[in-house]
Structure 1
């Protein structure tokens, strides 16, 4: 293939633009903030689950405390009734004995219930402290997520700006290239390599391999408008005064 040497040199501008676009793409998928956001999101999910679990435990204890207090109140009410009956002095001895026995039973029952309530309250205090800790940890995770997300989004804005500028530059460069030369360049690039590079000091700018004598002799003998492809990596070799030919 033949192409004007000036058009071939414009391939270097296109290759530079494509290289930066490639770096932008790589940055989009590998920036550390992506991993930070993913880790922070996982921490927030874990923190939320932990807080819900502790809150559920606390709610269960609150219901148990309320049930226990209600039962204690009921026992106290029966105690007050029995004391009122005893104070009235209108019942026979057998009834008085029965009421005294019931009152003694109620006192023992209330003592057990109050001990159980104290234990419940101690457990509740411990769980409430656990809830406070879970809330603090969740707040930390949420703040870390917000920070990582903000930094990620700032980077994405910068990348979007760079890509938009480079996309516009690419359109201009491509418009100035002959179609056959551009098509060859795109085929080279589509294979995962560099489409075109400068031949500098007898070295390929794409693969950094020094051109051997045989191939270099062929390049020297080629016409200025001949499109040269490096035998080793396939990139289009653009010749300038820096090529050392």
Structure 2
């Protein structure tokens, strides 16, 4: 294939744009914020599980405390009733004596229940403290997620803006080059990891960085300036300029 040497040199400009676009795409895929957000998502999931367990512990203690309070109220009501009967002093002596014994038992029962309630309330205070601490960590992690998301969106917007700028420069450049040269360039780029056109410099291919043999140097020197040369090793398009040193 033959193409105007100037058109071949402009392939380097096109390649520079395509390389930048590829780098921008890679940068978008590998933003550190992506990994940070994944880590934060896992942290939030684990914290939410921890929060649920802490909330269940608080709820269980609240339920047990409420049950003890009901039992205490029942004992108090029974004591008040018995005390009223004792104060009235009506009824047989044996019955009044039984009431007195029952009052003693009820007082002991009330004390036991109140001690148990106090212990549970202390446990609840500890459980609530744990729940508050986990909730605080969740809020802090969520705030951090918002910050990272904002940073990611800002960077993505910058990448999109630069891509738009580069793409706007690529279109007229590509359209101005010979169709068959662009077709070859695109095919090589697809098969060579994105690098299709490389500068031939100092007797070395700019694509694979391999030094040419004397025979290959002579072949390149003898080639028509309009001939589109390709590296024998990497098959990339070799663009000759004043820097080629041949």
Cα RMSD after superposing both structures = 1.2
Q: Which runs of 5+ in 2 are unaligned?
A: none
Cα distance in 2 for partners of 1:117, 1:192 equals 76
Residue of structure 2 in register with 1:66 after alignment: 66
- State the alpha-carbon separation in 1 of the partners of residues 220 and 192 from structure 2: 24
1:136 aligned counterpart, secondary structure: helix
TM-score by length of 1: 0.96
Question: Within 2, Cα distance between the matches of 1:32 and 1:66?
Answer: 50
Give 2:211's aligned residue.
210
Query: Contact conserved, 1:47 with 1:141, CA < 8 A, in 2?
Result: no
Report the equivalent of 1:115.
Answer: 115
- Deviation per CA, 1:96-118: give whole Å up to 9, x if none: 12211221221121111111101
Check conservation: 2:204, 2:211, Cα contact below 8 A. yes
In 1: Cα distance, 2:28 partner to 2:228 partner: 34
Distance 1:214 1:117 in 2: 97
Runs of 4+ in 1 over 3 A off after TM superposition: none
SS of corresponding position for 1:90: coil
Q: How far has the Cα of 1:222 moved from its partner?
A: 0.6
Question: How many angstroms does 1:232 deviate by?
Answer: 1.2
What is the match of residue 106 of structure 2? 106
Q: Deviations over 1:1-52 (max 9, x none)?
A: 1111111111101100110011011111112111111111211222222222
Quick one: distance in 1 between partners of 2:143 and 2:214? 62
CA distance in 1, matches of 2:149, 2:216: 52
Alpha carbons 2:37, 2:148 under 8 Å: kept: yes
Q: Provide the C-alpha distance between the structure 2 equivalents of 1:13 and 1:44, rounded to a whole number of angstroms.
A: 47
- Residue 78 of structure 1: aligned partner: 78
Tell me the alpha carbon deviations over residues 55-83 of structure 1, each in whole angstroms, 9 at most, x when there is no partner: 22212211221121121011011101101
Q: Which residue of 2 aligns with 1:232?
A: 233
Q: Is the 8 A contact 2:196 2:237 kept in 1?
A: yes
Unmatched segments (≥5 aa) in structure 1: none
Equivalents in 2 of 1:24, 1:100: separation in Å?
A: 89
